[in-house]
Chain A
Amino acid sequence: MDHPAVEVSGLHVSYGSTPVLVDVGLVVPAGAGVCVTGENGIGKSTLLRCVSSLQQPDAGEIRVFGGEPGDTPEFWRAVVTTVEPPTWYPGLTAREHAELVCRAHGHDLSAIDEALERFGLAGHADAIPPSLSSGQKQRLTLVLALIRPSSLLILDEPEQRLDPDGKAAVAAMLAEYLADGGSLLMASHDDAFAAASGAAVTTMDSL
C-alpha cells in the first residue's frame, strides 16, 4: 500500500475556548505501530477520535490510507477502534458477540475459542457481557477488535483495567497483528506495554 495508514497535519481542536490540539501532525506508516503518550487531558483521546472520524476537528487534514475518514462501511471494514466503549446486545453471550463479528466479516469461526482462551475469557464464554467485570469487558472488547480482519487498529489505552497477564496477552496479540501487516495507532500511559506491542512511542508534546 502506497499511502501511510494515518496522516494527520495541522490539526486544531478546541473545547469552547480551551485549545486541546494545536497544529498537531502525525504519520503512522502502513504496517507500523505508533503509541501516543502524555498526561491526562493533553488530547490523546481527542486525536484518536478525530482519526476515527468520530469527532470533527476545527481545522486540519486527516487521511487514513490516503482517504478521508468517514462513516462508510468500507472505512469500518478497514478500521477498528475502541475509542468508544461498546453497548452490548441484550441477551447475547460473550462468545456469541464474537461469533456475530466473525460471521459479519465472513471470518473463520474456529479462531473464536482460541481468542477467548488467550484473553482468559474461555470460562466466561456463556456470560452476558454486562455481568463481566470491567477488566473482563475490556478483554472482550479487544477480542472483538482483534478477531475480525482489519488494516488499522485505533486503540485508546488498551491496557486499561487489565492485570499483568492480560496486558502481556494483549501486547503479544498486538505484536502479532503488526507482524501480519496491520497498522496500529494507540494511546497509552504504559511505555513497557507499548514497547511489548511493537509500537513506536511518541509523546503528544512532540506531535
Chain B
Amino acid sequence: MSSPAVPLRPVRRWIQATQASHRERGATLSNVYVGVLFVAITAAVFERQLMAVFWPSDPSLSGPAGVAVAVICGALLLLALRQLGPITMSRPAAYFLLTAPVSRRRLLLPSLRLAAAGAALAGAATAFAILGHAGNRDDLTDSLIVAGALTGLLIFLAAALAQTARHGAGLLDRLASLALAIGLAELVAEASGWVPPALTIRPPAVSLLPLALVALLGFLHLVRSLARTRNDRILESAKTAGTLFDAAFGMEPSWVADMVERRYWANRRLRSTRLPARLPILTGQDLLLAGRRLPRLLWLAGGTTLPLLLTPAPRWLLAVVLLIATMVAARTSSATIRTDAGNPVMSRLLGLTSREALYQRLWVPAGLAAIWATTALALLQLTGHLPAGPWWALGPAIAPAAAAAAARHARTGFVRNDLLPLDTPMGTVSTGPLVNSLAGPDILLLALPALIALAQDHPLSWTTVVLQAAIAVFGCRAYVNATTAEDRTELTPR
C-alpha cells in the first residue's frame, strides 16, 4: 500500500510561520544585524591577525610546504565534513519529517546546498591563504581561487557520497588521516632542517573546465542518489548537528567531546581481558583503556614532532604550547575521572576513598605526559633548537603537574552559566566558559620553572630540573589532598 507524497514546501512554510509567531517582532532582523555587526567588528579588530593569516607581508612558505598545507587543510575539511554528515538536518526535522511521507530528496536538499557552499567557501579561503603565503603574487589569478573552491566542492562530494554509499566510508576516513599525517610530516621535516626541492606554485596552464565538469556531474549524481541515504546515517548526523548546536548555545564543549568519545567506542569491537593484576585496580583500568585508544596514541606519538613547527615563533609561545600539549597528552586517559566526577554511582559501587581513587587515576596520565614531553623535548634538542642541558629530564619533571591539570579539568563538570557576566567595551562576556576553560590549565603554573627555562633559551641545569620536579610533585599532592578526603567516595571537588 502506498500513498502519494505530501508536498514538503507547505509543511516547511507552516513550520517557519509557526516558529516566527513565537519570536518577538523583528527578532530575525535583529539577529541578522547583530551577526553582520559582529563580523564587521571582528574583521576590524583582528585586521592585522587576519592579514597575517591570509596575506602576510613576507610570504615565506616553500612550494612543497604550500602543497603540504593544502593537503592538511583538505584532509581536515574532509574529516570535519565526515563527522558532521555532511548531509544533515535538525533533530526536530529528523524526528517529525524523516518519518513523514514527504520527498526525501527535497527534505535533504537544503542541507546539501548549505554544506556544499560552505565547503566551496572554505576551499577558496584556504587557496587564497596558501597562495598568500607561498605563491608568487605577480602570478596570482582568480582562477586559483576558483580552483580552491572547486577542490572544496569535490571534497564535499567525496564526503557526501561516502555518507550515501554502503561501503568505503571507513577507507576514506583512513585516507584523509593518512594525508593529514603526510602533510604534517612534510612541514616537520622542513622545520627540522630538510631542504625541499624547489617548487613554485604557478597558475595552472590547463583550463578549470574539466574540474568544474567533474564537480557538476558529481553534484548531479549526488542529488539523484540523495533519497537513498540510509536513515541511520541521517539520524546520526542529525544528532551531531543537534549536539553541536547545544554545545554552542549552552557554551558547553564537553558535549561534543562526549559525543566523539561515545562514537569512537560504539564503533569498536572489544574483547574482554583481565585487568592488570599487579597494578592498583584503577591504574590497571586506565592502562587497559589507554591501550585501546591506539589511533589516539599514534597521533600523540606523531604529535611529539609538532613543537618543531613552532621553532621560528617566539620562545615563550613554544614553551606555553609545549606545556598545554603535555596536558593534552595526559588527558588521553582522563575520561574515567570525568565519568566518576559526573556521576559517582560507580565510585560508590567500588567503595574506594576519593583520595585513593584519584591517586590511582593519576598514574597513567602522568606516564603519558612524561613520555610525550620527554620525546618532544629530546626532538627539539636533537634538531638543535634547544641549548645544552638535560632538557629531556624536564618531561618527567613536569608530568605530575600535567596529570593534575588533566584531572582538574576532567573534574570540573559543566560550564556554569549562572556566574556574573563581565561588561566590556566590546559587550557582555559570560564568565562561566572562561572559568571552565581555565580549570586545569591553571594548575600548569606548577610548571613555571620549565616555562621560564624554555622561554629564556639558556643552557639548562640539573638544579632547575630538580626544582621543577619538586614543585610539580608537591603541587600535585597538595591538589589531590585539598580536593579529596579519606572519608568520602565522590570525586567531585568540594
Contacts and interface: CB of A to CB of B under 8 A. Distances in A.
Contact of B350 (A72, A84, A94, A100): A100
A91 B345 contact: no
Which range contains the number of B residues in contact with the other chain? 35 or more
Given A89-B285, A99-B274, A104 B339 contact: no
B266 interface: yes
B289 A89 contact: yes
A73 B358 CA distance: 14
Nearest to A103: B281
Contacts of A93: 270-272
A61 B264 CA distance: 47
B339 to A, nearest CB: 5
Contacts, number: 104
A89 B338 CA distance: 9
A73 B352 contact: yes
B332 to A, nearest CB: 12
29 contacts: A72-B487, A73-B352, A73-B489, A81-B348, A86-B349, A87-B342, A87-B343, A88-B339, A89-B335, A90-B261, A92-B288, A92-B289, A93-B271, A93-B272, A96-B272, A96-B288, A99-B274, A100-B350, A101-B349, A104-B349, A104-B350, A125-B272, A127-B270, A128-B265, A128-B268, A128-B270, A130-B265, A145-B349, A148-B349
Interface in B277-331: 281, 285, 288-289, 292-293
Contacts of B275: 96, 99-100, 103
A167 interface: no
A206 interface: no
Given A76-B489, A103-B275, A84 B285 contact: no
Contacts of A95: 272
A77 B487 CA distance: 12
B272 to A, nearest CB: 4
B336 interface: yes
A128 B268 CA distance: 9
Nearest to B355: A73
Contact of B336 (A89, A104, A145): A89
B83 interface: no
A73 B339 CA distance: 18
B351 interface: yes
B224 interface: no
Contacts of A125: 272
Interface string B457-488: 00000000000000000000000000000111
A134 B293 CA distance: 27
A72 B489 contact: yes
A36 to B, nearest CB: 21
B350 A101 contact: yes
A90 B349 contact: no
B353 interface: yes
A87 B345 contact: yes
A104 B281 contact: yes
Interface string A106-146: 00000000000000000001111011000000000000110
Contacts of B353: 73
Of A73, A77, A100, A104, chain B has the most CB atoms within 10 Å of the CB of: A73
B351 A85 contact: no
B270 A86 contact: no
Nearest to A87: B343
Interface size of A as a range = 35 or more
A78 to B, nearest CB: 9
A2 interface: no
Contacts of B269: 126
Given A77-B351, A87-B342, A87-B346, 7 more contacts: A72-B487, A80-B349, A84-B343, A91-B268, A101-B350, A105-B351, A127-B270
B273 interface: yes
A22 to B, nearest CB: 29
A165 interface: no
Interface of A: 71-73, 76-77, 80-81, 84-96, 99-101, 103-105, 125-128, 130-131, 144-145, 148
A93 B268 CA distance: 11
Contacts of B488: 71-73
A119 B301 CA distance: 42
Interface in B332-372: 335-336, 339, 342-343, 345-346, 348-353
Nearest to A99: B275
Contacts of B252: none
Contacts of A80: 349
Contacts of B489: 71-73, 76
A100 B270 contact: no
A108 to B, nearest CB: 14
A-B pairs with lowest CB-CB distance, top 3 = A87-B343, A95-B272, A104-B350
Contacts of B272: 93-96, 99, 125-126
Nearest to A85: B345
B487 to A, nearest CB: 5
B262 interface: yes
Contacts of A73: 351-353, 486-489
B281 A86 contact: no
Contacts of B343: 84, 86-87
A131 to B, nearest CB: 7
B279 to A, nearest CB: 10
Nearest to B348: A76
A124 to B, nearest CB: 10
A100 B281 contact: yes
Contacts of A94: 272
B168 to A, nearest CB: 24
